[in-house]
Amino acid sequence: MGNYCGKLFAELGADVILVEPPDGTPLRHEPPFAGDVPGPDSGLAFAYANTGKRSVVLDLDRAEGARTLRDLARTADLVIETERPGVAAARGLAWADLSEGNPALVMTSITPFGQDGPYGQDEADDLVLLALGGLLALGGYRDGPPVRAAGDQAMAMGGLFGAVASMLALTSAELTGAGQHVDVSVQECVVLALENAVQFYDLEGTVRGRGSGVGDRAGAGVFACADGEIYILAGGIGGNRFWPNLVDWLESEDVPEAAALRGDRWGEREFVTGDEAKGIFNRVFGPFAARRTKAELYAAAQRRRVPLCPVSTAADIVDNRQLAHRGFFVENTGLGTLMPGAPYLLSETPWRTNGRAPRLGEHTEQVLSEIGRPGVSA
């Protein structure tokens, strides 16, 4: 959470100091590791989330370490912390403590459930937060258990919304001279990712559940093709205006039974959401898609104005021409691997990688000498 939040600032030009305990932030020890060699400086997740930062080792449970952090906070604009609620206060490092020496300071706390409430003191990992935020219920197949999305998606949401909220608070501090405490709940960030689940009930009276690649109507869903899978959404959007394009395409390719997809009933919701319509469509479109590649289907669908896209694998993403044109993947100079860049381009204040992630404690002496505390590391 905090690592990724800080990364978003570091790669826009901020001087970000990663304050770590003596054995390093936990993310340093999470796999996968470069070359499958575990170590505090070889974790791929750590290397990605901490490029361009400086690393300082402080033991915040010792009085000297806490005093050093207070000295650092006197010249900081933002402090990001992810401890359980109450831990910072017990160390004398709550926002009220740090802001005494820096009234414009913004402190952002990113925790599983926020600073208060019945779950406020509870710990949670990514899976728990996806579950309690409601997103897990939407992942997987209808006839199976919930399936978690790959990666720490909930934690990434917490870091992203933490950065957005921090920027708002920093803007206010610049305008007013007064900082504030930003309280970010990862559970609440996940709830925001439910997208149109609420609207399903409001507009259709149905509770959105797990669908995976299975469409809720004919002309929608994931279908196998010669080299993977594609997703099509030709029915049920835009007043069904893409449906004739799809039928014209299939008939031009002499697809057996394509004519069965014509008729007024294919514009009736009661019919297209039923098993008969889905069975007919799958029988017509399935074999057609199975004989063609993702690229062939996508190119033809673009020409025909039919909503269809490839289901990209990780290898497809790395080789994607659009991402290559935009220079999205950049080199992580520390490990010699590629990593995602920023999904935005700023014309005047561009994003940049700012180098590799720091080695554990690499900048302790340098940073502490800047605040007049040479030789102090804990």
The answer to whether residue 376 scores a pLDDT higher than 60 is no
Q: Read off the pLDDT band of 377 (50, 70, 90).
A: very low
**What is the per-residue pLDDT across 322-354, written as a single tens digit (0 to 9) for each?**
999 999 999 888 888 889 999 988 898 888 887
**What is the per-residue pLDDT across 284-337, written as a single tens digit (0 to 9) for each?**
999 999 999 999 999 999 999 999 999 999 999 999 999 999 999 998 888 888
pLDDT for 290 equals 97
Q: Which residue did the predictor score with more confidence, 140 or 255?
A: 255
Residue 378: HSE in the Cβ half-sphere, 13 Å Cα cutoff: 8
Single-letter amino acid code for the residue at 224:
A
pLDDT for 92 equals 97
* Residue partners of 240: CB distance under 8 A and separation at least 6: 266, 267
In the CATH scheme, what is the code of domain 220-314?
3.30.1540
Strand 17-20 to 54-57 pairing: parallel
* Residue partners of 291: CB distance under 8 A and separation at least 6: 226
Give the span between the Cα atoms of 98 and 77, in whole angstroms: 11
Q: Read off the pLDDT band of 29 (50, 70, 90).
A: very high
The pTM of the whole model exceeds 0.85? yes
* Residue partners of 279: CB distance under 8 A and separation at least 6: none
- The closest alpha carbon to 280, from 219, 212, 231, belongs to 219
Phi, psi of 133 (to 5 degrees): -85, -10
Average pLDDT of the chain is 91
Here the tokens at position 182 are: 């930003």
pLDDT for 378 equals 41
pLDDT for 354 equals 76
Which CATH homologous superfamily contains domain 2-194+320-370? Crotonobetainyl-coa:carnitine coa-transferase; domain 1 (3.40.50.10540)
- Portion of the chain with pLDDT greater than 90, in percent: 74
The answer to whether residue 69 scores a pLDDT higher than 90 is yes
**Is the distance from CB of 188 to CB of 114 less than 8 angstroms?**
yes
Map out the domains of the chain as residue ranges: 2-194+320-370, 220-314
Q: Across the beta sheet with 181-185, what order do the strands follow?
A: 78-81, 106-111, 181-185
Long-range contacts of residues 334-342, Cβ cutoff 8 Å, at least 24 apart? 334/41, 334/47, 334/51, 335/34, 335/42, 335/44, 335/47, 336/34, 337/34, 337/44, 337/47, 339/47, 339/48, 339/51, 340/48, 342/11
Tell me the Cα Rg of the chain: 26
Reduced to 3 states (helix: H, G, I; strand: E, B; else coil), residue 293 is coil
Q: Averaged over 109-116, what is the pLDDT?
A: 98
**Is the distance from CB of 285 to CB of 230 less than 8 angstroms?**
no
Give the span between the Cα atoms of 72 and 20, in whole angstroms: 14
Give the span between the Cα atoms of 105 and 87, in whole angstroms: 19
Q: Averaged over 152-174, what is the pLDDT?
A: 97
